[in-house]
Amino acid sequence: VPALREVGEVEAIRLITRGAAARDDVVVGPGDDAAVLRCGPGEDLVATTDAMVEGRHYLSSWLEPRGRGARLAALNLSDIAAMAARPRWALLSVGVRPEHDIDALLEFQAGLAAALAADGAVIAGGNLVAVRGDEWWSLTLLGSVARERAWRRAGARPGDLLALTGLPGRAAAGFLLAHEHADIAREPMWRPLLEAWLHPRARTAFAQALAAAGVVSAAIDVSDGVAGDLAHLCAASHMGCDVEAWSLPEDSLIARAAGIIRRPVTPLRLGPSDDYELLLAVDPRGRAAAEQVARDTQTPLWFIGRFTPQPGQLALVEVHGGRTPLGRGFDHFTGAR
């Protein structure tokens, strides 16, 4: 397999962009100074960017190039989902060493393109640079949403319900198993936790269907963990939130993993974890509509708390009334709770 050094930049770009962006909303695709994209009338353009750095955001031993591409897609798609937007166009920027083999680069590209296509987006352009040190992969993803209809972190109201998709903390549990107990982590029973970390899927279809129901007042995706991202949402909305311990979804797998990685289970579930799930403020009158959308899109959805008018006051509430602050320091690395 030839290395990038032998293939050369121009040929590598030709290979990487081959067949890309043959779509009529891409007016000018790869090969010019910038892409020209046709956004419909009455729409807002939504833009996000996120990167992965070798050794820091992924380990080559755990994530092959195709999976790495899919993961880069997912973390950007998740931000677009959190805005209730439709993913449309992506710009890829890559810093790779000259000895990087071209097949691995094309595998990465294929994984990225397939994951984007599954949610309706296409790579519209990009850039390739040579690096000497750690490699990095950066994606800019553009989407569109009906004018003024994008979800924001601001907008939650007192009495709104806190809704959560999926099972929080699984990505952190998978990450910690892989980093601290690599041999155990390869056992099949832990696969769902490793999948949550390595192969997250953005909640794109759910978000778009739910947006149409018009019941969400604020939203954020979970990249820092439930406690951290809920704090971001509450800060933007000038609200507080009570998370009900008894409403958290059952997850016996993470409870078993907590024993192996020696972390208390609740901080593991609510602390730092890049799950790429959604946290939503939902009008209580819209609960049934949200549950219907969840069923229609086969999305696990839980109502786990309620927003309060006390800015910045986040707490985990026990059924007997005990309250634990859910602020900074709620962290499975310190074990605080």
Write the interaction track for Mg ion spanning residues 182-221; mark x where CB under 5 A is met and - where it is not.
Answer: ---------------------------------------x
Tokens of 188: 């099949």
**Which residue, 170 or 263, has its beta carbon nearer to Mg ion?**
170
Q: Decide: residue 336, CB within 10 A, 0-12 exposed, 13-18 middle, 19+ buried.
A: middle
φ and ψ at residue 258, rounded to 5 degrees:
-55, -35
Residue 332 to residue 337: CA distance in whole angstroms: 9
Q: How many helices (H) and strands (E) does the chain have?
A: 12, 13
Q: How far is the CB of 79 from Mg ion (least distance, A)?
A: 4
Q: Does 50 bind Mg ion (CB under 5 A)?
A: no
Pairing of strands 122-130, 216-221: unpaired
Q: How far is the CB of 141 from Mg ion (least distance, A)?
A: 12
Residue 186 to residue 177: CA distance in whole angstroms: 9
Q: How far is the CB of 75 from Mg ion (least distance, A)?
A: 8
Q: How far is the CB of 223 from Mg ion (least distance, A)?
A: 5
**Which residue, 79 or 331, has its beta carbon nearer to Mg ion?**
79
Write the interaction track for Mg ion spanning residues 58-87; mark x where CB under 5 A is met and - where it is not.
Answer: ---------------------x--------
Q: Which one-letter DSSP state was computed for residue 336? A: -
CB contact at 8 A, 101 and 5: no
**Which residue, 156 or 177, has its beta carbon nearer to Mg ion?**
156
Q: Among all chains, which residue has been given the structure tokens 């799950």?
A: 275
Q: How far is the CB of 82 from Mg ion (least distance, A)?
A: 5
**Which residue, 79 or 160, has its beta carbon nearer to Mg ion?**
79
Q: How far is the CB of 44 from Mg ion (least distance, A)?
A: 17
| Site residue total, Mg ion (CB under 5 A) | 2
HSE-CB for 161 with a 13 A CA cutoff: 19
β-pair partners for 47? 142
Measured on CA atoms in the order 314, 319, 324, 329, is the torsion positive or negative? negative
**Which residue, 104 or 231, has its beta carbon nearer to Mg ion?**
231
**Which residue, 221 or 242, has its beta carbon nearer to Mg ion?**
221
Which residues would be at the binding site for Mg ion (CB under 5 A)? Answer: 79, 221
